[in-house]
Structure 1
Amino acid sequence: MFENIYDVIVVGAGHAGSEAAAAAANMGSKTLLVTMSLQNIAQMSCNPAMGGIAKGQIVREIDALGGYSGIVSDKTAIQFKMLNKSKGPAMWSPRVQSDRMRFAEEWRLMLERTPNLDFYQEMVRGLIIENGKIKGIKTSLGVEIKAKAVVLTNGTFLNGLIHIGEKQFGGGRAGESAAYGITEDLISVGFESGRMKTGTPPRVDGRSLDYSKMHEEKGDEKPEKFSYSDETKPLTIQKSCHMTYTSQDVHDILREGFDRSPMFNGRIKSLGPRYCPSIEDKINRFADKERHQLFVEPEGWNTVEVYVNGFSTSLPEDVQFKALRSVAGFENVKFFRPGYAIEYDYFPPVQLKHTLETKLVEGLYFAGQINGTTGYEEAASQGLMAGINAHLKVHEKEPFILKRDEAYIGVLIDDLITKGTEEPYRMFTSRAEYRTLLRQDNADFRLTPMSHAIGLASDKRMKRIEEKLGKSSAMVEFFKETSVTTDEANPILEAKESAPMAQNDKMFKVFSRPQIELADMVQFNDVRKYIDENAIDEEILEQAYVQVKYSGYIEKERNNADKLTRLEDVRIPEQFDYDKIKSLSYEAKEKFKKIRPVTISQASRISGVSPSDISVLLIYMGR
């Protein structure tokens, strides 16, 4: 069946695998996507949502690069919200509630329409590695499929073990078996592995809930969308979520089951996500809290299945049921399935290069939860980058690496490669030191030209960017050149409790005032006229507003990034002998030898490396 050698084989068809396969195939590589179940491509194993704080920025970046996640999210959304809108634009984060079944269906249909992409359903049991190079994969039926590059995106399936109370059984996800063999093959050639844990809440029957006892959570009045392309449109109707709370009674019932909890009786020894703890972990760690929020999220337009966000648990199913029935609105709840925890193998990501290629085996790439991350968005972005770089490697082209000042994706990968992780890594805006530059509104400006240059983003996308950039830049210039009178400006300024103008001034200066918002800008006659005459849409107007409002912050951050870029330009030879530098601290020497930083800048970000160690390196290299 597989006589020819594939350019790229992607193992696993979750969010990482789907993006990896799409990217490699769209760039021209003959690609094979192998998964244990073609019915579960891009399955939302946990919550039915995409985006959120920092995660929404990642989805925008994936879309700007030519990935599919943004388009699929738009086409299958049931609600849209821009989070953190009361804060500065660096914090604005888009999020959609998704139709779980339609999300997976749309992903599969988009992949089936992708040229150069083949599919095969079977478990991959091993890897073919010869002389330190990947040569292909071995399946459970003994089929050997050859490839020039392989991307592993195994999610929670590698030796996966599901826990519900005192019961445990092998599985990679509810109703699906675990994957065996790959971990053992990787360890045999020298890889280090570890175990991580994640959990998921019970799913319940929405018909059994009393929503009148909950707070309704509606979507935005003017919903936006994820994708920068014109393939999708914003929602015109939306479905509400709801919010309720736990109570002391609920907590007391949950504590009754602690002696049967795998988290507390020692069955689970691995670490779970710090920022998405289980309900039992919450009431244990935050014992002073009288209640915790629960978000009641519909799984789609037509299904009655509901996801109980905030109630992730591995407690016995009878305890879960009894506790939930004490929650307001859940008095008559019926379960579709109980929550569970899952343990799985991962490989500390310091064993990777910035391309996500492994250091030990040439042509082998890791993406997603295998690298110790958590979240659909984090996984999808790694898959995209691994797919891109696998294609570039096979075709003997320069690798594609995003820097920390270019994308959240660059921050994510650099954190993993440089610092590693011992608990599931989740992206936050606070992890990005250049977050004013890395906003959700400008991901296309930042990344589409780069993606177009390597052959992924389409000519149509590039043309759209050039038009948008031209219009927003022209509008900013209009603000700099056009004056407003005191007669027109002062009533607006006084209404916003901003000091009145003593004389006429340029719009740019007036709009830079902290009290002035986008809605205030469009009250000026010349602005409204400019919008009408130049067909300025909401997207361009918002972009111009941010450029005016935060120009000082943006310029300062850009200058800081440029200074640090100089250290990025100081490269360290691949086989550099750190032992010959006597002045280096012992810890720095050990970390440098293990991680093998590519540049001085990367070396400076390694945990345990001091500024004096970096000074020694710079002096030794003639800097």
Structure 2
Amino acid sequence: MFNQYDVIVVGAGHAGCEAAHAAAKMGSKVLLCTMNMNTIAQMSCNPAMGGVAKGQIVREIDALGGMSGIISDKSMIQFRMLNRSKGPAMWSPRTQNDRMRFAEEWRLALEQNPNVDFWQEMVTGILVKGGRVVGVRTGMGIEIPGKSVVLTNGTFLNGIIHIGEKQFGGGRTGESASKGITEQLVELGFEAGRMKTGTPPRVDGRSLDYDRMEVQYGDENPEKFSYSDETKPLAEQRTCWITYTNKEVHETLETGFDRSPMFNGRIQGLGPRYCPSIEDKINRFAERERHQIFVEPEGWNTVEIYVNGFSTSLPEDVQYKALRQIPGFENAKMFRPGYAIEYDFFPPTQLNLTLETKLVENLYFAGQINGTTGYEEAGSQGLIAGINASLKVQEKDPFILKRSEAYIGVLIDDLINKGTEEPYRMFTSRAEFRLLLRQDNADIRLTEKGYQIGLAEERRYQKVLHKKEQTARLINDLKQKKLEPNESNEALEALGTAPIREKISIEKVLKRPQIGIEQLEEISTDLKDYLEGYEKEVLEQAEIQIKYDSYIEKEKQMVEKLANMEDFKIPVKFDYLTIPALSAEGKQKLNKIRPQTLGQASRISGVSPADLSVLTVYLGR
């Protein structure tokens, strides 16, 4: 019935879609297995993409040739660049999306790829022969042969949904849990754990009083995620709103604490620290009189509203009563209550940096199965797993991003070396080289890499080369062009910056905090005419590189210093247990994770600087 596939992807969420797309675009024959073809790329929680650090990840996926940026652009209803008041390392793009259109665009993109086949059925196990995966088995007992398998099961592995004292099996509301895979993997020697996440109630937007809320508009000049010409910025946007909980809301919620699965011990898994439920917030932050609630439309043409900030698993009657005490929600009609979901995951220290498992060859894990939370984190893992599954089948070198190259590299390095005991979420603070890993330069950092492995297209690559060339030319010209005191001092003083006493390069003036590219245009008509010859992204890139030149250079020097450790390989079968000078914990962690380089070993929790020195000596450094 089935020929052998190069890559079988199990699960069609954000990780599964990126994995299938990447492998297929690189020439592999792919089968995407899902329990429901109608829920491909479902936005299970918030209908939004990006945000702090997450926006950088979406830009990186796009730069490599993935689809999350393009799909987000095609389905967005609002765009905002967060943290504009801070430095460029913190700028983070975010879109509010049309939930239905997002899923539709992903499905259309996958169906247009002739290398992707689909199969709608639950996968209940993998086929393993001689320590290598050779296919999957479905609930109907069908065996499908495959050279590699990528598991992207999301919250479906033995998923249990909790609403107050009620609990029932499910991977998402109205959908069945996935059975069989966890048990088989544990039998094969994998370590499994439980995690928890949650979602808020959905309400009827026609029943809300928006006059009682704060309006949250999109950016006046919206941008987009993708660097490609395939998408355009929004011409019009939908509005979002902000409101707040209050003392009455908190008191009502507290009446349900005795029936809360979080507080009475029915939920064992740990939930996301940085996206807590509303009951967790008012319990942990009892001193706060209110919490922010973001009122977000689910799409262009639907009345459904996502109540961001009100994630809960309290009984539905308590949810409903508390909701109607929020300003603007007095007459709210609830479409469905919020709920918590508990599911199986596998600690990611059991993986290599390619996301291939250490125990079973050609088996890859991506997304929430690795203990992460968030569409963006899942999508990036799916992309890397799909790339590496395809490369391995083609007998090519693996694709690994370093911490200094991408937020995706930071994410995977953290997971593999440190593991996680709670849902992992990306933050800018996790990246030690975040000034190098900005959202504006992801194409410059990564598109060539995507092009070399056959994922990013030729026109993408040429576009980046043009951007780099134009940026370099502009920076050089700004160093050469001079400002005359008598021609520019009046404008400089009007802009709130000191006048100049002698001829000075425009580059030096641009380094001043009060002066940006837009202000340069006010200083000289000739300069304005010259700058108008460049695209907006080239102007932005030149300004950032000039203003932050010394800081960027310091980070580059730090990367170079660490490169020696990253490039120093550790033999695959190196026996850590035979080195007496290593600490007991160091031996245990090194032997379990089996780092590929000295740099990777240095980031393993429990491996001390002394252990690293001993290891360096034994490796003949």
Q: Give the TM-score range, shorter chain.
A: over 0.9
Cα root mean square deviation, aligned: 0.9
Cα displacement (A) at 1:466: 1.0
Q: How does 1:441-460 map to 2 (within 5 A)?
A: 441-460=440-459
Q: How does 1:83-94 map to 2 (within 5 A)?
A: 83-94=82-93
Q: Is the 8 A contact 2:272 2:373 kept in 1?
A: yes
Q: Is the 8 A contact 1:492 1:520 kept in 2?
A: no
Cα displacement (A) at 1:518: 3.2
Q: Is the 8 A contact 1:49 1:97 kept in 2?
A: yes
Question: AA paired with 1:61?
Answer: E
- 2:172 aligned with 1:173, yes or no? yes
User: Which of 548, 551, 559 does residue 549 from structure 2 map onto?
Assistant: 551
Cα displacement (A) at 1:610: 1.4
Task: Deviation per CA, 1:554-577: give whole Å up to 9, x if none.
Answer: 111011011101101111111111
Question: AA paired with 2:427?
Answer: F
Question: AA paired with 1:295?
Answer: F
Task: Deviation per CA, 1:414-468: give whole Å up to 9, x if none.
Answer: 0000000000000000000000000000000000001101111111111111111
CA–CA separation in structure 2 for the residues paired with 1:487 and 1:267: 76
User: Which of 588, 604, 607 does residue 606 from structure 1 map onto?
Assistant: 604
Number of matched residues? 620
Question: AA paired with 1:122?
Answer: E
Structure 1, unpaired ranges of 5+: none
Q: Which residue of 1 aligns with 2:25?
A: 26
Task: Deviation per CA, 1:322-341: give whole Å up to 9, x if none.
Answer: 00000000000001100000
Task: Deviation per CA, 1:32-72: give whole Å up to 9, x if none.
Answer: 00000110110000000000000000000000000010001
Cα displacement (A) at 1:131: 1.3
Q: Is the 8 A contact 2:34 2:122 kept in 1?
A: yes
Structure 2, unpaired ranges of 5+: none
CA–CA separation in structure 1 for the residues paired with 2:482 and 2:307: 53
Give secondary structure in 1 for the equivalent of 2:273: coil
Q: Which residue of 2 aligns with 1:324?
A: 323
Task: Deviation per CA, 1:264-303: give whole Å up to 9, x if none.
Answer: 0000111000000000000000000000000000000010
Q: Which runs of 4+ in 1 moved over 4 A?
A: none
Cα displacement (A) at 1:28: 0.2
User: Which of 568, 571, 581 does residue 570 from structure 1 map onto?
Assistant: 568
Question: AA paired with 2:552?
Answer: I
Q: Which residue of 2 aligns with 1:151?
A: 150
Q: Is the 8 A contact 1:26 1:115 kept in 2?
A: no
Question: AA paired with 1:529?
Answer: D
Structure 1 length as normaliser, TM-score? 0.99
Q: Which residue of 2 aligns with 1:124?
A: 123
Q: How does 1:254-293 map to 2 (within 5 A)?
A: 254-293=253-292
Question: AA paired with 1:572?
Answer: I
Q: Which residue of 2 aligns with 1:408?
A: 407
Q: Which residue of 1 aligns with 2:390?
A: 391
CA–CA separation in structure 1 for the residues paired with 2:487 and 2:171: 64
Question: AA paired with 2:111?
Answer: E
CA–CA separation in structure 2 for the residues paired with 1:326 and 1:152: 43
CA–CA separation in structure 1 for the residues paired with 2:290 and 2:335: 25
Q: Which residue of 1 aligns with 2:6?
A: 7
Cα displacement (A) at 1:244: 0.1
Pick which of 467-476 and 23-32 moved more: 467-476
Cα displacement (A) at 1:469: 1.1
CA–CA separation in structure 2 for the residues paired with 1:79 and 1:518: 26
Pick which of 215-224 and 508-517 moved more: 508-517
CA–CA separation in structure 2 for the residues paired with 1:90 and 1:454: 28
Task: Identify if the C-alpha distance between structure 1 residues 491 and 619 changes in structure 2 by more than 3 Å, giving closer, same or farther.
Answer: farther
- 2:136 aligned with 1:137, yes or no? yes
Cα displacement (A) at 1:536: 1.1
Q: Is the 8 A contact 2:491 2:523 kept in 1?
A: no
Q: How does 1:470-619 map to 2 (within 5 A)?
A: 470-525=469-524, 526-532=526-532, 535-619=533-617
Question: What percentage of residue pairs aligned between the two structures are identical?
Answer: 68
Structure 2 length as normaliser, TM-score? 0.99
Q: Which residue of 2 aligns with 1:189?
A: 188
Q: Is the 8 A contact 2:269 2:342 kept in 1?
A: yes
Task: Identify if the C-alpha distance between structure 1 residues 585 and 26 changes in structure 2 by more than 3 Å, giving closer, same or farther.
Answer: same
Question: AA paired with 1:577?
Answer: D
Question: AA paired with 1:9?
Answer: I
Give secondary structure in 2 for the equivalent of 1:370: helix
Task: Deviation per CA, 1:95-138: give whole Å up to 9, x if none.
Answer: 00000000000100011001211011000011101111001000
Q: Which residue of 2 aligns with 1:40?
A: 39
